[in-house]
Amino acid sequence: MYIHYFFLCSLLFAASDALVQDFCVADLSQSPTPSGYPCKKSTSVSANDFAYHGLAAPGNTTNIISAAVTPAFDGQFPGVNGLGVSIARLDLAVGGVIPLHTHPGGSEVLVVIEGTICAGFVSSFDNIVYLKTLNKGEIMVFPQGLLHFQLNSGKTPALAFVSFGTQNPGLQITDFALFKNDFPTELVAKTTFLDVAQIKKLKGVLGGTN
Annotated binding-site members for Mn(2+): 101, 103, 108, 148
Annotated binding site for oxalate: 103, 108
Which of 89, 86, 99, 79 is closest to 39 using CA atoms?
Answer: 79
Annotated binding site: 101, 103, 108, 148
Provide φ and ψ at 204, rounded to 5°: -65, -35
How far apart are the C-alpha atoms of 82 and 102, rounded to whole Å?
A: 21
> Maximum distance among all alpha carbons in the chain?
64
Q: Return the SS3 of 198.
A: helix
Q: How far apart are the first and last CA of the chain?
A: 59
The HSE-up count of residue 190 (CA atoms within 13 Å, CB side) is: 5
- Strand residues in the chain grouped as ranges (E): 67-72, 86-92, 97-102, 108-114, 117-122, 129-134, 139-142, 148-152, 158-164, 172-173
Calculate ∠ Cα 134-83-101, nearest 5°: 40
